């Protein structure tokens, strides 16, 4: 859809803790051709510059690698900076990431999400002595990290996961589990047993019900559900 | 409002590669360290770096050496880089890459399991005589992401104390040349807090947002530079801005030089590989200043592409599918998303785009911030360090080589930490009348925006500043335009003193942050304009139509710019410690 002269009505669920008891919708009329770029983030920047400077959202890289501007766009989580206006209908509704506490407007509190990430022990662990040069890794071994290491911690997946909605303190959620899978898959890491041991309870890993929302919304095209299934297979291999 | 005071040994401002590496180093000594970042650390702009990190590992070119890397860096800098700092960086490069690999960074690999190395611009073997070098170590084309996450993971492991989404407002001084803390604001609650520290490390990154068209993130607003400038300390070589030849036209986002390193070719509207004419030896992998100027000249000569002739073509259509998938997957995505281009079938529209600030806060090779006494002699600012893009150490001089920035941030982040560990015992916490006065001044700035009203919107000011920088201080510069540009910028700068914001909320006030950022950007823009007008020669990225030649006799020196529009200069270091100095030469391309 061309953006020339196109009017888009963008409804944002607004909330300022200083003034509001709950979020309320506010609608802005944006002429897409007046925006500086072709993405949804450009329309939000336009609103902030020209219509209402109190509208609050996070953003930084503007190219889908920093993971700041995750939000719910017409019911589906995504990054505003790589969502083309042309891919959206003339009426757009924006909410903050579902199930996360709202700080203000589209800005959510991600503390719990980061805590779950830390539970993944997201760092390489190797008990051996480090060699003087690089640890060798064949291209085939390295390729096992593809589809895992590219996560940008935007939380689009975890916020879309029903299992996480119900147990955000106990179920680690797809993003954190993707990081578990990333280190399990690394030929240079030899903490597989400890990593799997930490997932033995009924919630951390096993609350995944393969709903697949995570893979459906990931703006980087990653598949956390598949990564979780792979971790489960490793658990089975361990126990047999 | 009562203000909470907290005391640390070390406060690091900035959560990119330099800040995080400095945090790891200082925390390892048992010092009490906190890292303050206006974004969650993995959202820092390091994440956007694509192509790689330079180190003469010799995995592809067996005869490569750090001395060759040093020579290329000095030559690439058009001899404005400090040779002692460049020597240090290049000699530390291999151990730095190995250290990152041991931390878990997912580098791309060769068949024998060693780290893959690709060709990058301005890199040669045998001191310019041995042809193209393969020295750049990538993680596909997502090297910055891989590095930043790896460093963050190590900080998670080390349980580093983070204050993320806190904005550093100003340095707090306890003497004319002593820094003893900072004032910062919690974005979530609006709370102001004083952080006392024996050492403050600025690792606040670049400031490309002063230009209308830039590859830089929204967050690149020169915050550390503004803090230093307001504290009365100088900024160095601010006229030196790198324009990357391959920003996506109309959008700005970066297409890595690695695309040309893997065989990509720049073409004009006639399909000609024009870099063969401008740089017969290095062609598409000449230094970025050379390639950007060549593209600008082609467009001027009417050989630009598209209906308005205002971009060039980056052609990757001849590259094998495996190369695109394995080595350049990220830019294939970016080109599809932002330019609607399938890189295997069509060229990418690209244009020289503001990318990197070679100038910044002057430091020595230990990261100690430098100022000048009345006689023009270098002196230290006690308790203040800087590393990474915000610093001017200066390893890039007048033009940075691709993949030297990721190297710089880790090498000097570590060096700063090292120096602090060795000297923290000699530094005392200081809180005196001067400290209180500098706190009052900083609080006054907060009050100006929080209480003020009725003035012009900051948006108009931002847009006018960017437009002036883009039009008058771009790839090609000339005295008359810059004179006019500086006068216009002075008017815009004065308007900022009467602007206001209408958002008065304490909760996550991004407008207030933008106002602080604009003040920082204005300091960067104004010093850039002043220094660019003053330097009457062409060197590296600073290319003057009215002074087309390099003038070593008068201008082989760093420029300094102080608050109050005062200017000075510093000598370029030509004394490496372990090898002979590299004498001034003409650059060949």
Q: Give the residue extent of every domain in chain B.
A: 245-353
Residue B134: CB partners within 8 Å, gap ≥ 6? B60, B61, B64, B117, B118, B119, B123
Sequence-distant (6+) residues with CB within 8 A of B400 are B76, B77, B242, B288, B356, B358
Residue A3: band (very low, low, confident or very high) from pLDDT cuts 50, 70, 90: low
The interface pTM score, or ipTM, of the predicted complex is 0.98
- Model confidence at B1: pLDDT above 80: no
pLDDT, average across residues B460-471 = 96
Q: What is the mean predicted confidence (pLDDT) over B339-362?
A: 96
When pLDDT is cut at 50, 70 and 90, the band that residue B2 belongs to is confident
pLDDT digits (tens, 9 = 90+) for B170-188: 999 999 999 999 999 999 9
For an interface test with B, give the residue of A86, A97, A149 to mutate (most B CBs within 10 A).
Answer: A149
Instruction: Give CA–CA dist A61/A64, Å, rounded.
Output: 7
Nearest to A121 by CA among A227, A201, A193: A193
pLDDT over 90, % of chain B? 97
Tell me if A66 and B43 make a contact (CB, 8 A cut-off).
yes
Mean pLDDT over residues B317-344, rounded?
94
Alpha-carbon span B175 to B86, nearest angstrom: 32
Contact flag B114-A124 (C-beta cutoff 8 Å): no
Secondary-structure class of domain B245-353 per CATH? alpha beta
> What is residue A105's predicted lDDT score, i.e. its pLDDT?
98
Task: Name chain A contacts of B42, Cβ cutoff 8 Å.
Answer: 66-67, 152-153
Instruction: Please determine, for residue A1, whether its predicted confidence score (pLDDT) is greater than 70.
Output: no
Strands B235-236 and B557-562, bridge-based pairing: antiparallel
- Kindly state the greatest CA–CA separation across chain A: 64
- Specify the pTM: 0.97
CA distance to partner chain A, nearest, from residue B234 (Å): 28
CB contact under 8 A, A62 and B253: yes
User: What is the rounded CA–CA span in Å between residue B16 and residue B390?
Assistant: 11
Question: A118 in contact with B at a CB cutoff of 8 Å?
Answer: yes
Neighbours of A194 (CB within 10 A): 10
Nearest 5°: CA angle at A190, between A186 and A192? 85
pLDDT, residue A240, reads 64
Q: Is A47 an 8 Å CB contact of chain B?
A: no
pLDDT in tens, A160-210: 999 999 999 999 999 999 999 999 999 999 999 999 999 999 999 999 999
The 10s digit of each residue's pLDDT in A62-74 is 999 999 999 999 9
pLDDT digits (tens, 9 = 90+) for A107-156: 999 999 999 999 999 999 999 999 999 999 999 999 999 999 999 999 99
């Amino acid at each position: 859809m061309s953006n020339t002269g196109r009017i888009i009505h963008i409804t944002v669920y607004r909330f300022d803790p200083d003034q509001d008891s709950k979020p309320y919708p506010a609608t802005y009329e944006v002429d897409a051709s007046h925006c500086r770029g072709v993405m949804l983030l450009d329309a939000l920047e336009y609103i902030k510059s020209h219509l209402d400077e109190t509208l609050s959202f996070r953003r930084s890289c503007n190219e889908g690698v920093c993971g700041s501007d995750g939000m719910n766009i017409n019911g589906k989580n995504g990054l505003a900076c790589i969502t083309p206006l042309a891919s959206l209908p003339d009426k757009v509704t924006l909410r903050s990431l579902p199930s996360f506490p709202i700080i203000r407007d589209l800005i959510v509190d991600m503390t719990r999400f980061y805590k779950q990430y830390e539970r993944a022990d997201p760092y390489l662990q190797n008990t051996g002595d480090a060699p003087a040069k690089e640890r060798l890794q064949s291209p085939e071994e390295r390729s096992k990290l593809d589809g895992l290491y590219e996560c940008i911690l935007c939380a689009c997946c975890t916020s879309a996961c029903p299992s996480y909605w119900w147990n955000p303190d106990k179920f680690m959620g797809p993003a954190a589990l993707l990081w578990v899978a990333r280190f399990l898959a690394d030929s240079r890491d030899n903490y597989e047993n400890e990593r799997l041991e930490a997932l033995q309870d009924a919630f951390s890993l096993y609350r995944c019900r393969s709903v697949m929302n995570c893979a459906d919304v990931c703006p980087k095209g990653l598949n956390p559900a598949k990564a979780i299934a792979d971790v489960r297979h490793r658990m089975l291999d361990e126990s047999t | 409002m009562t203000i909470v005071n907290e005391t640390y040994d070390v406060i690091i401002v900035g959560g990119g590669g330099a800040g995080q590496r400095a945090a790891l180093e200082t925390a390892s000594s048992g010092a009490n360290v906190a890292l303050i970042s206006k974004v969650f650390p993995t959202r820092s702009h390091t994440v956007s770096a694509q192509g790689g990190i330079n180190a003469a590992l010799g995995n592809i070119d067996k005869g490569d050496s750090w001395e060759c890397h040093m020579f290329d860096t000095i030559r690439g800098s058009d001899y404005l880089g400090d040779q002692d700092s460049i020597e240090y960086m290049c000699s530390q490069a291999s151990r730095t890459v190995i250290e990152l690999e041991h931390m878990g960074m997912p580098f791309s690999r060769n068949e024998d399991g060693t780290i893959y190395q690709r060709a990058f611009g301005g890199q040669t073997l045998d001191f310019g005589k041995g042809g193209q070098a393969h020295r750049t170590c990538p993680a596909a084309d997502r090297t910055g992401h891989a590095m930043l996450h790896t460093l963050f993971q190590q900080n998670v492991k080390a349980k580093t104390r983070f204050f993320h989404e806190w904005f550093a407002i100003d340095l707090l001084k306890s003497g004319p040349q002593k820094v003893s803390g900072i004032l910062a604001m919690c974005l979530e609650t609006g709370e102001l807090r004083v952080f006392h520290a024996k050492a403050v490390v600025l690792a606040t990154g670049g400031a490309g947002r002063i230009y209308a068209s830039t590859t830089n993130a929204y967050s690149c607003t020169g915050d550390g530079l503004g803090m230093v400038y307001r504290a009365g300390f100088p900024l160095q070589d601010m006229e030196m801005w790198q324009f990357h030849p391959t920003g996506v036209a109309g959008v700005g986002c970066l297409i890595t030089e690695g695309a040309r390193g893997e065989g990509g070719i720049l073409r004009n509207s006639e399909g000609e590989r024009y870099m063969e004419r401008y740089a017969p030896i290095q062609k598409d992998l000449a230094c970025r200043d050379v390639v950007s100027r060549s593209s600008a000249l082609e467009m001027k000569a009417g050989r630009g592409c598209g209906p308005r002739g205002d971009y060039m073509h980056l052609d990757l259509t001849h590259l094998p599918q495996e190369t695109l998938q394995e080595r350049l997957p990220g830019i294939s995505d970016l080109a599809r998303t932002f330019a609607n281009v399938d890189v295997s079938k069509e060229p990418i529209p690209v244009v020289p785009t503001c990318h990197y600030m070679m100038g910044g806060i002057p430091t020595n090779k230990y990261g100690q911030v430098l100022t000048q006494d009345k006689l023009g002699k270098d002196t230290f600012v006690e308790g203040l360090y800087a590393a990474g893009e915000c610093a001017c150490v200066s390893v890039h001089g007048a033009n940075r080589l691709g993949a030297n920035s990721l190297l710089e941030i880790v090498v000097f982040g570590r060096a700063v930490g090292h120096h602090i560990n060795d000297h923290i015992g000699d530094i005392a916490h200081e809180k005196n009348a001067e400290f209180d006065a500098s706190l009052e001044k900083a609080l006054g700035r907060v009050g100006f925006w929080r209480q003020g009203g009725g003035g012009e919107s900051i948006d108009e000011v931002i847009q006018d500043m960017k437009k002036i920088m883009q039009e008058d201080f771009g790839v090609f510069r000339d005295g008359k335009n810059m004179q006019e540009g500086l006068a216009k910028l002075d008017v815009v700068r004065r308007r900022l003193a009467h602007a206001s914001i209408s958002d008065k909320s304490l909760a996550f006030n991004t407008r207030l942050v933008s106002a602080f950022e604009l003040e920082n950007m204005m300091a960067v823009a104004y010093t850039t304009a002043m220094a660019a007008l003053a330097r009457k020669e062409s060197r590296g990225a600073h290319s003057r139509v009215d002074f087309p030649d390099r003038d070593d006799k008068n201008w082989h020196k760093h420029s300094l710019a102080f608050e109050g529009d005062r200017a000075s200069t510093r000598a370029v270091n030509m004394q490496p410690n372990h090898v002979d100095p590299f004498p001034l030469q003409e650059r060949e391309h």
